[in-house]
A and B are shown apart, each in its own frame.
Chain A
Amino acid sequence: MGSVTATVAPPTGSNVILWFRTFGAIAGSGFRRYATYRQAALAGAVTNTVFGFLRCYVLLAVAGAAGSAAGYDREQLATFVWAGQGLLAVVLFWGWTDLADRIRTGEVASDLLRPVHPVTSYLATDLGRAAWACLPRLLPPLAVGPIFFDVHLPTRWPTVPLFALSALLAVVISFGCRFLVNATAYWLDDVRGPQILWMLSSGVLAGLYFPLPFLPDGLYLALQLATPFPGLMQTPLDVLVERGPGAAQAGLVAVQAGWAAALLALCRLVQRRAERRLVVQGG
């Protein structure tokens, strides 16, 4: 009888324009969905700003009298902290359990009936969410930081578009990781274990708590080469503070792109394997 998958085959004779239109429509609905929580976004921005002050003072104290730490000068450290606090909610490390909840309740069945691949539709929603988060979550810390601290402003024009691209790739990498963590619910009904593991590792290994070059060189290199974590935050921030020459930065963004593609492919693979064994609960 051959293999039976739950996903309805997408319409063949792929129409690229149609695909983009669908993707755009789902992303737009993601944007509108998250745009309803305006007060929570304001509260979150205030919290990010308080943490911006906390972390900025600590890193400036690390730079101390010498004026630099691990190759970052004081202005670069300030930009690193404040842009990092802004990116946190855009990249979204924590608190996304939509897929795991839907798998547990069985609602995921309706995702499988749609003519859009689940990975694609969840990615589109997440990009819409990230686009909304840029307004109330990224901009306030970026605006408040320079008022109270001397920050590093980009001196090369390619930095800004490269940062935008790098931040976009960071969202995709973060989405891929979160999707995989959530997808463990297909096998384990309780995803708290993988969730906690992801929560712990993402904060420390992505460069949120301290710039990763603070770590011993070997460890930092291993993180860069063998894990997607620096691509979540360290790389876009390094691009923004112009650490190293432009070519090296483009190289780091290329590594990020590689991780993003690999993770999305892995998501699709995991999703296909999961659909083979999925038993929707509750009938």
Chain B
Amino acid sequence: MAEPAALPRQRPARRLRQRPPRRPRQPPGRLAAYRALLGAQVRSQTSYRTSFVVDLVGNLGGTVFDVFTVLVIFGVTRELGGFTVREALVVVGLSSAAFTTADLLVGNVERLPRYVRTGLFDAVLLRPLGALPQLLLMDLPLRKLSRAVFGVAVLAVAVGSAGIDWTPGRAALVVLAPLAGVVFFGSIFVATATVSFYWTESGELANSLTYGGKDFTSYPVTVFDGWFRAAFAYGMGFAFVSYQPALALLGRADPLGLPAWAGWAAPAVALVAAGLAAVAWRVGIRHYRSTGS
């Protein structure tokens, strides 16, 4: 019984060997390899269609409830930290557009602790491609597409209803600020993930800055106080994701005394954050020790 089954298996192998190389092709570049990784992800994630749709809807729900929470809070009070609901929604919109997009593109890196613990990270390092891009593409969560679209929609509605006095500068800022926010949150995702190179069991620790940062940037900074505000808003720069750009868009002076140009500082802050995250990643990856399994 075994022999007839073995025959057809040999045949394609022989054919492969006999086939002359048709064209001397260049070895596929890095980009092609990344594209192949991404394509494989798209195919595998959409192959169970019902599960994929359920995931899309579920991820949408999470962000819908975030916005719902802010609206409920404004149902109880007229203004929060000196901001009306329309003004606060601009802050929420900037934050959710930036966070959801960053979570779609980079949020996946929060699975790094599992790769480190199980030793799967060895395989990633062995391949002749960058470790970080591989991690991001290895299971790019397409299901988070729905919430990213919703996040951008919240921003569009908020900006539309806030009665902004449009100037070319503000029009540029409304595009630049969310992009800077994406870079900023992406950096936070990467930097916090590197903790697992040193502390494998760090578990939820990264959430305090990633999802915590999302919560922090969903409210005007004036809501917070003391050293906590100083650390999150200015020490780590979360104020420049949504609060300062929102002030610049609305044409309001900062009650906390930062000058008007602070809103336009968002891209610079994001670049600094990206630089620090890159350093943290490089240093961290040198500290990686395989589990040996």
Residues of A bordering B, CB below 8 Å: 37, 39-40, 43-44, 46-47, 50-51, 53-55, 57-58, 61-62, 64, 69-70, 148, 190, 192-193, 196-197, 199-200, 203-204, 209-210, 214-216
Contacts and interface: CB of A to CB of B under 8 A. Distances in A.
Interface centre among B51, B55, B57, B76, by most chain A C-beta atoms within 10 angstroms, is B76
A57 B205 contact: no
A40 B114 CA distance: 13
A69 B55 contact: no
A69 B79 CA distance: 12
Nearest to B48: A190
B212 interface: yes
Contact of A200 (B62, B204, B226): B62
B223 A196 contact: no
A148 B225 CA distance: 11
Contacts of B226: 148
Given A39-B199, A51-B215, A203-B65, A214 B75 contact: yes
Given A58-B223, A200-B61, A39 B208 contact: no
B98 to A, nearest CB: 17
Contact of B51 (A47, A62, A192, A214): A192
**Main SS at interface, chain A:** helix
A192 B58 contact: yes
A209 B54 contact: no
Contact of A61 (B54, B72, B80, B205): B80
Contact of B69 (A50, A196, A209): A209
B72 A46 contact: no
Nearest to A208: B69
A44 B58 contact: no
B69 A210 contact: yes
A112 B190 CA distance: 44
Contacts of B203: 37, 39-40, 43-44
Contacts of A57: 223-225, 228-229
A199 B58 CA distance: 9
Interface centre among B61, B81, B208, B224 (most CB of A within 10 A): B208
B224 A204 contact: no
Contacts of B222: 61
A62 B77 contact: yes
A272 B216 CA distance: 46
B207 A62 contact: no
A47 B207 contact: yes
A200 B68 CA distance: 12
B219 to A, nearest CB: 6
A196 B50 CA distance: 14
A58 B219 contact: yes
